[in-house]
Structure 1
């Protein structure tokens, strides 16, 4: 089996892109195959790869690629999360698919339409610049009929009081792209960009505790990947500063889905990000973000009168780079030959 290693700039790890047509569809049969792939990666010095993108040309006339994301978890090569998505891995999939001629050749102005199998998201990757093995993109996360902003709140409230071992923590629980917990960095005692970006193990542990409290409130597993968590600070006019946690460490920047979720959250009255965005003087739905790994921008297309009943049509994130690194010949699956059983059998004569 051949996989393709690709990386989106700002992602915590590379992504291994695999042809979904060569793999089982159900988790029970897929898990042992992915386990063998992780064993091979570790044996070959690539145990850092924890993101897996299962991709194929889409049979749907409205899409170019079908994409399924799997997150490898720590604590064992047989541990995976199949529920969420990853925007950086979508970009990795696009450049890998381009390298395999599964798509029309990437060119500036072109649009690659991606259907996310995990959660039904529709994503359009607009090509800003194309090179032989890399590209720069603006990524649009679409909402089919427009989602009500207040329906993106996981508890229905713009802020929740989370009970932790160190006291009550205010947070906003929002889901767009992926579910996130947003907290005000200043409430963590981080009063400057340098303090936020330089925060160490004590702040990391406290954020994990806040995330755990959010999981308990939502009645979600505390040992899973979701919701993710990010601290948001407002220290500079016209900008937000963000520090997020990935699996299993500080994120070098912020996930593409995290930027998307933050842009949506900043449009919902009363949330932590909305309050900080207003203080920064940002226009509604438009955010400029600084992270330890660089800067990016996002814009949400919102229609309505400025209340929670407004509708969200899409969120666009610009200045995203991705590159194809190398093929990976997975020797342990050299003779693996998966064939999907037909959904029907001919009638006996």
Structure 2
């Protein structure tokens, strides 16, 4: 058992549109249960305000990363991601976070885990959650990862140094299959009504559904969605669809187990054709600026304010998978089967995601890597005090 008021070295970092506590693997106990207790205490979970810890009372700011040097020949460091539940004593470990992944390279460089090379350092990251390699290109100056720059992403004020991430061979990150059901589209009947969905597993598994099937436009912000009089009923149906997906990939034996013990995966998303809408920032998003409108949900069926990085990787992979709902939407917009760039309209603006593609003899395309451009910043370094 760890002692009361024990202090643990940590770094508080923003990566993309998320924030996380970063720990060096050597500073945590090897016992997984003890690690989880430290992490939960550090965040102040369970408590919807997380008032006695570092958590920000939402899923985007309740994340952790544990980093160590790697002995693998294809990686420099290994990275464990944890999604900390706000209301329950759970540290989800089945998924990765694309936004937090953007801060892993800068952390490793600044902590001396990877030698700094100017002007750009390549960091090969092995994500233990998905068993996938991420290649990060980090701008470096004077031996440290650069923070300041001219690159901007919607959902983060100001600008920063651009970090490029390549999620290598993202297909089958959780299930081992690009299409866990074996089909690009499926239907489920709930309370006598049919709902169409596409279940795609790339970087993280995501179930894409039509917002129109729920009487929605798909452009709703989280605040607007939460204010709907039938929000609870919509979330109930979405959870049934999501839980069915969890059963499909072996994460749960029934819907109740999926609801309690498999909240992090799979994700579920609304996607629809480009239309103009007002973002949560007040910015007017015109339809010609985007290829698809997307809304992603996180733990507890909460619509998030921006768009998950791994969700974006899954979206562009789905766009290159014939017959999926995403492929139908994006392919129609671009009038092309080769989709190496998708502009996603999310609640706080627009997110660009790219792909390196290979063409097969039958004319189909395979995503060799899904690519993101993000910014990251070290906010605080020191110690977090944890309670017994």
Match of 2:9 in 1: 2
Q: Kindly provide the CA deviation profile for residues 55-101 of structure 1, in whole angstroms up to 9, marking residues without a partner as x.
A: 0122334322210111112433x312222111112122223333323
CA distance in 2, matches of 1:310, 1:179: 19
Residues of 1 paired with 2:32 and 2:363: CA distance?
37
Note the C-alpha offset of 1:268.
0.6
The CA distance in 1 between the partners of 2:371 and 2:21, in whole Å, is 25
Deviations along 1:30-67, whole A, 9 cap, x unmatched? Answer: 33333333349742463534211000122334322210
Q: Cα deviations across residues 188-232 of structure 1 (Å, max 9, x unaligned)?
A: 333364689943352555433432343345453322210001111
Question: d(CA) in 1 for partners of 2:202 and 2:225?
Answer: 26
Identify if the C-alpha distance between structure 1 residues 164 and 213 changes in structure 2 by more than 3 Å, giving closer, same or farther: farther
Q: Which runs of 5+ in 2 are unaligned?
A: 1-7, 149-159, 253-257, 275-286
What whole-Å deviation, never above 9, does each CA across 1:241-278 have from its counterpart, x for those lacking one? 11111234221111110000111111111001000111
Aligned residue among 322, 334, 338 for 1:269: 322
Give the TM-score normalised by the residue count of structure 1: 0.82
Q: Structure 1 residues 112, 266: CA separation in 2 closer, same or farther (over 3 Å shift)?
A: same
> Is the CA contact (8 Å cut-off) linking 1:2 and 1:18 kept in structure 2?
yes
- How many pairs were matched up? 328
Equivalent position to 1:18, from 19, 23, 26: 23
**Pairing of 1:45-64 with structure 2 (within 5 A):** 46=55, 48=57, 49-64=61-76
CA RMSD of aligned residues (A): 3.2
User: Match of 1:245, SS?
Assistant: strand
Quick one: distance in 2 between partners of 1:195 and 1:93? 29
For 1:275 and 1:326, locate their aligned partners in 2 and report how far apart those are by CA, in whole Å.
44
Name stretches of at least 5 consecutive residues in structure 1 with no aligned partner: 337-349
Cα distance change, pair 102–282 in 1 and its aligned pair in 2 (3 A): farther
Distance 1:191 1:32, change over 3 A: closer
- In the TM superposition, 1:228-307 aligns within 5 A as 228-235=267-274, 236-237=287-288, 239-248=291-300, 249-281=302-334, 283=336, 284-285=338-339, 286-305=341-360
Q: 1:153 to 1:45 in 2, by over 3 A?
A: closer
Counterpart CA distance in 2 for 1:254 and 1:120 is 22
The partner residue of 2:95 within 78, 84, 91 is: 84
The match for 1:347 is none
Deviates more, 1:215-224 or 1:134-143: 215-224
Higher deviation after alignment, 237-246 or 172-181: 237-246
When normalised by structure 2's length, the TM-score is 0.74
Q: How does 1:123-162 map to 2 (within 5 A)?
A: 123-127=134-138, 131-132=146-147, 135-143=161-169, 151-162=177-188
